[in-house]
């Protein structure tokens, strides 16, 4: 796992933040200047494998990084993005969270075409609730 190698110091990286549980590094193929990725030090391939404690802590780190990015670049917004599975755009199978500065009119392409509201919202809700 390339991120495990980065965390072990086997591959160099540019860290902007580190604590006992996470390391946040500059993305070497950034979507925008200041694009940071947050890596849990405990390997989990995706959100399904991530321990609940790490899941809650990573958002606190994402908030810190987003705040620092906003102050550094005076951006108009940030995307906090986490992909799970190849179909969702995951290319490295070590969970990571992207924090990407955004500016009005930039060319960063993160999005989807909005669909029509489903007529069976209650059925969809029940399908998901049955799995909780």
| Whether the predicted pLDDT of 112 surpasses 90 | no
Whether 35 sits among the annotated catalytic residues: the reply is: no
From 35, 94, 96, 98, the catalytic residue: 96
Q: pLDDT of 18-32, one tens digit each?
A: 999 999 999 999 999
Prediction pTM value: 0.91
Contact partners, residue 48, CB within 8 Å, separation at least 6: 84
18, 53 Cβ separation under 8 angstroms: no
Half-sphere exposure of 1 (CA within 13 A, CB side): 17
pLDDT of residue 129: 94
Residue 9: CB atoms within 10 A of its CB come to 8
| Whether the predicted pLDDT of 127 surpasses 90 | yes
pLDDT of residue 113: 83
Length in residues, the chain: 132
- Two tokens, residue 109: 């392409």
Kindly give the residue spans of alpha helices, DSSP state H, lying in the chain.
Answer: 2-7, 52-73, 121-129
């Amino acid at each position: 796992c390339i991120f495990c190698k980065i965390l072990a110091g086997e591959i160099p990286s540019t860290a902007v933040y580190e604590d006992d549980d996470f390391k946040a590094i500059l993305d070497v193929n950034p979507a925008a200047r200041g694009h940071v990725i947050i890596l849990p030090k405990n390997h989990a391939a995706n959100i399904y494998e991530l321990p609940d404690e790490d899941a809650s802590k990573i958002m606190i780190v994402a908030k810190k990084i987003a705040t620092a990015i906003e102050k550094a670049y005076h951006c108009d917004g940030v995307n906090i993005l986490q992909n799970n599975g190849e179909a969702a755009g995951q290319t490295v199978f070590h969970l990571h969270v992207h924090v990407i500065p955004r500016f009005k009119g930039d060319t960063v392409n993160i999005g989807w075409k909005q669909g029509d509201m489903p007529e069976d919202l209650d059925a969809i809700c029940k399908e998901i609730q049955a799995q909780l």
